[in-house]
Amino acid sequence: PQREVVSIYNDNFSTPSSRPQYFIEVYRCVKIEVGECSSDSEGYPVPNKTEEIEIVVPDITNKDRDPNNEKKFYKYVVYNHTSCKCGNLTYRNKKLYKTITDNEVTEVYFNVSYANNPDNLVRQCNVCNSPQPRYNLIHEHVEALPQFKYLAYQQCLPGCVVVEKNASVKKIKFTSDDGAKIVNFTNYISCKAYDGRNAGTQQIQNKIYKDPQKIRFA
């Protein structure tokens, strides 16, 4: 498995408006060695074993919406991949975030569980000193060979300022007669914390999924 930084809410680095920002380190199955899957394009790197990471958070806007309502708290579960194998994409997608029908929890449950939350990278004072490792399924993943289905890149954490980025290229191999193609994407090189100055000129990475990547992600 490869180290990746993810949002606890979804796989696109975004945060619901009623929740606090929460980003954690996990390990995900995104790479596979030549020979581990068949030579066709049907195999995907998927978890063989996983562990659940539970996080509890408050609703930070509930008081504004309904001052008379009681406090609300919610539970989220992110999967950490501890070993990998060859499998199908549907299975992997089910092992990124656990689907919970009703994830609201009581204040007592929140108070007991909060101490067990993993470190929230947003609260680390040096989190903006470097970009974070990220992986995305390429748009043409169905035709791509197993070892080329995910694109590795680096991205500044939302709220950090992008200092330097460059245009990168990656050769993707396919099973079709075309053989391979070159894809272009943006890779972030360095970041820094927002200092409140020159807001108009500093590029703040607030919504990562809207960044204009030149390669289309699935």
126 within a domain of the structure (yes/no): yes
Question: Residue 129: helix, strand or coil by DSSP?
Answer: helix
What confidence score (pLDDT) does residue 176 get?
A: 63
Is residue 137 scored above 50 in pLDDT?
Answer: yes
Task: Indicate the residue type of 81.
Answer: H
Confidence of residue 31 (pLDDT cuts 50, 70, 90): confident
Confidence of residue 27 (pLDDT cuts 50, 70, 90): very high
Mean pLDDT of all residues belonging to the chain: 84
Tell me which of 11 and 177 has the higher pLDDT: 11
Question: Residue 125: helix, strand or coil by DSSP?
Answer: coil
Task: Indicate the residue type of 162.
Answer: V
Is residue 73 scored above 90 in pLDDT?
Answer: yes
The whole domain housing 20 covers 2-193
215 within a domain of the structure (yes/no): no
What token pair was written down for 57?
């958070």
Q: Tell me whether residue 116 is exposed, middle or buried, using C-beta atoms within 10 angstroms of its C-beta: 0 to 12, 13 to 18, 19 or more.
A: exposed
Is residue 9 scored above 50 in pLDDT?
Answer: yes
82 within a domain of the structure (yes/no): yes
What confidence score (pLDDT) does residue 124 get?
A: 87
- In our burial notation (b when 16+ CB lie closer than 10 A, e otherwise), range 201-212 reads eeeebeebeebe
Task: Please compute the mean of the pLDDT values over residues 7-13 and round it to a whole number.
Answer: 91
What token pair was written down for 128?
């903006």
103 within a domain of the structure (yes/no): yes
214 within a domain of the structure (yes/no): no
DSSP 142: T
Whole-angstrom Cα Rg for the chain: 19
- Among residues 193, 155, 212, which one has the least CA distance to residue 5? 155
163 within a domain of the structure (yes/no): yes
Is residue 217 scored above 80 in pLDDT?
Answer: no
What confidence score (pLDDT) does residue 64 get?
A: 62
- Among residues 213, 136, 218, 151, which one has the least CA distance to residue 181? 151
Tell me which of 47 and 199 has the higher pLDDT: 47
Cα–Cα distance for residue pair 23/94, rounded to 1 Å: 19
36 within a domain of the structure (yes/no): yes
What token pair was written down for 32?
């596979």
- The per-residue pLDDT for range 111-133, each reduced to its tens digit, is 999 999 999 999 888 899 999 99
Confidence of residue 209 (pLDDT cuts 50, 70, 90): very low
Number of structural domains (the chain) is: 1
217 within a domain of the structure (yes/no): no
Question: Residue 169: helix, strand or coil by DSSP?
Answer: strand
Cα–Cα distance for residue pair 48/42, rounded to 1 Å: 17
155 CB-near residues (< 8 Å, 6+ apart): 13, 131, 132, 134, 188, 205, 208, 211
What confidence score (pLDDT) does residue 49 get?
A: 95
